[in-house]
Amino acid sequence: MYNKDWAKVDTKSLPVIKTEIPGPRSREMHARASKYMKGYSSQVRLFPVVFETGKGCTLTDVDGNVYIDFSSGIYVTGLGHCHPKISEAVATYAHKLMNCHDFTTEIKMKLLEKLASITMGDLNGIQLYDSGTTAVEAGLRCARAATGKFEFISFWRDFHGKTMGAVSCAIVDKSQGMRAPGFFLAPRPNCYRCPFKMKHPECDCYCAEFLENIMKNETTGQVAAIVLEPIQGWGGSIVPPDDFMPKLRQLCDKYGILLFADEVLTCMGRTGKMFCMEHWNITPDITTLGKGFGNGFPVTAMCVSDKYKENIEKISASSSYGGNPMACAAALASIEVIEEENLCERSAHLGEVFLKRMNKMKDEHPIVGDVRGKGCLLAIELVKDKNTKEPFDEAGKLVYQRAFSKGLAWVPAGHILRLSPPLIMEDDLALKGLDIIDEAIGEVEKELGY
């Protein structure tokens, strides 16, 4: 059961293009706002439309143009824009009780009980926050409190947030500055671009083994946790080989290191499972949840195993907005929607639909080097040459803009085009969006002389 009447659309009529995109009202409003607002994302800088409404799998801008949404508000609105059950839950508490610091409320109690019942293993120590970065920082502090150690190992091109500890786990460009002491980055398995120039499975997942070299030769032996995204988001939907997570768990157990899975992006059905680590049947010691957790409302969580949960008391874990009644209502309603509408299964099915069509595009287009993903977390990687695999940033920018101008709202990352459609999307709408991408790639290839 999915995509109920509230989200139904006439696929044949979409997208709806009424003006040049961005239209005149979008250009005028963005110009006024950008006099003051600085630090826009690459999405906005490349295509500064101004959205007015969202419904299900569509977005409408202030000029009346209607887009197919392959972004989900950057992996957030996985259950569709303005799902009525979630909107009503938030509205109830917006009228009833908006904030009472970290006191217990009935809706918080119900959310905690529900979350503990669905998380992997014994991740029953919970604290609630209002941003993924804050949850990650709390997880780092909790790992230090639990182990008495202070160092962390994380991975190339993972993303964990924009505060000091989170940035130190994942410097993705030089503008983010230096890492704090005690943070170390390791090569991450990427079988399309293996950092060790090996081929899987002949490599025997050497990336996991290489972590021991880092521990022995770079750290002081005081590693509190290994931190990672189960599947990379910003880095381009890079799925590790199936033997990586079990080896990582074994390594952590061998050295008394906590395994910290940052699921801010991958949780709540995005990859076809409620939590991405379920794909490998691996329970981390700490996990963080966010983005789709509240389907657009800012609510995140840190979950810690029973063995270590009392350490949450040691880290000054509460926050001003975390766990407010509106946030708890949004998160609880979101979990219920995923279960009631079987959206994990729906996401897994959509992943199969997308990858089948994307692999066809890979075969047909000379600049499509790789396609990949799980569920509704997907990517298309563009290259100048399939043999050299040289990244094609110019093509990535042009394809993103060309498809957006045709009515597809989605996510760029240089030469990697990221797809994160809502879990409720119908097959025919998904295929129509992919047709737009296919057409845009063909036009850009022709423009660039391929």
Q: Are residues 45 and 186 in the same domain?
A: no
Query: Tens of pLDDT along the chain (450 residues)?
Result: 445 688 888 899 999 999 999 999 999 999 999 999 999 988 899 899 999 999 999 999 999 999 999 999 999 999 999 999 999 999 999 999 999 999 999 999 999 999 999 999 999 999 999 999 999 999 999 999 999 999 999 999 999 988 889 888 986 666 666 778 899 999 999 999 999 998 888 888 898 889 999 999 999 999 999 999 999 999 999 999 999 999 999 999 999 999 999 999 999 999 999 999 999 999 999 999 999 999 999 999 999 999 999 999 999 899 999 999 999 999 999 999 999 999 999 999 999 999 999 999 999 999 999 999 999 999 999 999 999 999 999 999 999 999 999 999 998 879 999 999 999 999 999 999 999 999 999 999 999 999
pLDDT value at residue 2: 47
Give the CATH number, domain containing residue 226. Answer: 3.40.640.10
Boundary residue ending a domain (340, 374, 398): 340
Shared domain for 307 and 358, answered yes or no, is no
Kindly write down the DSSP assignment for every residue of 93-130, as one continuous string.
Answer: HHHH---BTB---HHHHHHHHHHHHHSSTT--EEEEES
Judgement on whether residues 138 and 175 belong to the same structural domain of the protein: yes
Residue 201 is predicted with a pLDDT of: 85
Question: What element of type H or E holds 147?
Answer: helix 132-147
Instruction: Kindly state whether residues 15 and 135 are assigned to the same domain.
Output: no
Cβ atoms of 237 and 231 closer than 8 Å: yes
Residue 175: domain span: 84-340
**Which of 72, 127, 70 lies closest to 102 in space, CA to CA?**
127
pTM comes to: 0.96
Residue 153 sits in the same domain as residue 216: yes
Please identify, among 307, 340, 373, the residue that sits at the C-terminal boundary of a domain: 340
Same domain, 224 and 366: no
Which pLDDT belongs to residue 163? 87
State residue 440's pLDDT score: 98
> CA 394 from chain center: how many Å?
24
Q: Within this chain, do residues 57 and 190 fall inside the same structural domain, yes or no?
A: no
Angstrom distances, CA of residue 340 to CA of 1, 90, 114, 228, 334: 7, 18, 14, 30, 10
> Left (φ > 0), alpha (ψ -120 to 50) or beta: where does 102 sit?
alpha
Domain count, the chain: 2
One domain, residues 22 and 97: no
